[in-house]
Structure formats: C-alpha cells, structure tokens
Amino acid sequence: MGMHDGYAGRAWASGRTPEEFHAKAQMHANGTWSFVIIALVVWYFAGWVWALIPAALGIITALQSISATTVAARIEQLRN
C-alpha cells in the first residue's frame, strides 16, 4: 500500500470526493504555469541563479498537482 493509497483511504473515510481533489490538482497546475512564467521573466532580467527560486516552487506545485490527481483516481477506485 503506497502513500497515496493511505491518503485516499483517509479522504474517502472523511467524505471527501474526487472532484475536490481534481479541483485542487487544477489549482496547483495553474500555479505551476505561473511559477514557470515568473522563472522565465526572472531569468531574462536577473539571471539563472535567481530564476531557480520560482523554478523550484514550480516543481513543488507540479508534484502537488500530480499527487492530488493520483489521490482522486484512488478515491474513484474506492467509490467503484
């Protein structure tokens, strides 16, 4: 049983729905694109070293989006 299985089980037990996780995944995906654009602008004006900060935040939000999507899929499996 993986980490996401545990999250999905607890979320299912507390009455959370896959739609909530899909909405959060979309929110994080939008944040990822924002951080990528900010990183490109910072890279252009200030250099690549300073662009690493928003790039790292973009990677974190991308991972959060993937995680939320995975939990939503596992909840859908539990629902069926």
Torsion, Cα 21 27 28 32, to 10 degrees, reads 160
| 67 φ/ψ angles, rounded to the nearest 5 degrees | -65, -45
Q: Can you give the pLDDT at residue 20?
A: 93
Q: Six-digit token pair at 51?
A: 């662009």
Query: What is the pTM assigned to this prediction?
Result: 0.87
Percentage of residues of the chain with pLDDT beyond 90: 72
Q: What is the pLDDT of residues 14-50, one digit of tens each?
A: 888 999 999 999 999 999 999 999 999 999 999 999 9
Determine the pLDDT at residue 72.
93
* Averaged pLDDT, 47-69: 96
DSSP 14-78: TT--HHHHHHHHHHHHHHHHHHHHHHHHHHHHH-HHHHHHHHHHHHHHHHHHHHHHHHHHHHHHH
What pLDDT does residue 32 have?
97
36 or 77, higher pLDDT? 36
Query: Looking at the predicted structure, is the pLDDT value of residue 1 above 80?
Result: no
| Residue 44 tokens, joined | 């252009």
